[in-house]
Chain A
């Protein structure tokens, strides 16, 4: 579980292209997305233009959990790209499918309203402060993406999720830069 201050370095940036390259390197074929303000410019719009990734625009975040599960039965890898508000709204689906059925549900969650110079637990936004405790209570592995060095966490975590069949969440603490 990596939400430590080591990942929160002042004045640093997060490159959207680097994240997208790591997503592709992880064997992700499908992006299941409900627009998130934090990741929209740096991830969602570039992904929509990327011919190597299949973007599925989904109406509500819990649908993504079902779609990703169905794809996993076909040995197809998917990444759910949502906002933390949608993550909270989808907790029952995540509880049932990802945790109780131990499905490899991989989520990238934008922390809207977060101050990237702080850890999520010290966020000025109540909804962000409760995310890591919820993930830990549910036993879901999570990693903070706040600076470019954090991008290296993506591929090993996704590979592990699919190899061992368990969920993983990446918390995006800073708006990724669009190129």
Chain B
């Protein structure tokens, strides 16, 4: 079993000009590792992170978009797998941190802990799917995952983390939305 923040530290070494859409515990860990204007954090409703990511990927097919979502969030919008699989954006990489709990609510378990999200994504039409539970293997393969033609899906089997501090006013700061738009649309 891996730790989410360790996975994200490895991921951050490979993230350059991609947009990163992240929410709740994933957002807290990601921002802790990689605070940057290209982080898209204002999701508005739990589960919509993947849908925002799809919109960004559709609107800018020349840019790569990474979604960092928790298992509870994916369960609130499971249909997004089918929508994304059908639209099939090549530039979208969708990670789900599967810790089997609603961490922001104190760690209550998700309804079915062993649910196989990668298989669901494969059945829904994702171009490539991965299932990581070993940090060394994740480290070896993450560059390939980020470069593959999408939509790419990867489950990260992680432990529930220690209690996090959720600074929502900072995460959802309107200035961050403005900065994201400017950075995302800036000419290279």
9-residue interface stretch from A12-20, A73-81, A117-125, A148-156:
A73-81
Interface residues of A in 70-95 (CB under 8 A from B): 70-76, 78, 92-93, 95
Q: Is B135 an interface residue (CB 8 A)?
A: no
CA distance in complex: A95, B40 (Å): 18
Are B79 and A60 in contact, with the CB atoms below 8 A? yes
Q: Is A58 an interface residue (CB 8 A)?
A: yes
CA distance in complex: A76, B180 (Å): 16
Chain A interface residue count: which class? 20 to 34
B32-73 interface code vs A (CB 8 A; 1 in, 0 out): 000000001011110111111111111110000000000000
B165-188 interface code vs A (CB 8 A; 1 in, 0 out): 000000010100100110011000
Q: Which residue of B lies closest to A54 (CB)?
A: B58
Are A30 and B58 in contact, with the CB atoms below 8 A? yes
Q: Is B80 an interface residue (CB 8 A)?
A: yes
Cβ-Cβ contact count across A and B, 8 Å cutoff: 106
**Main secondary structure on chain B at its contact with chain A?**
helix
Are A63 and B40 in contact, with the CB atoms below 8 A? no
CA distance in complex: A63, B24 (Å): 18
Instruction: Show the binding face of A for B, using Cβ within 8 Å.
Output: 30, 56-60, 62-76, 78, 92-93, 95-97, 100-101
20 contacts between A and B (CB under 8 A): A62-B45, A62-B47, A62-B48, A63-B48, A63-B83, A65-B48, A66-B43, A67-B51, A67-B58, A70-B54, A70-B55, A70-B58, A71-B55, A72-B55, A73-B185, A74-B59, A78-B55, A97-B48, A101-B42, A101-B44
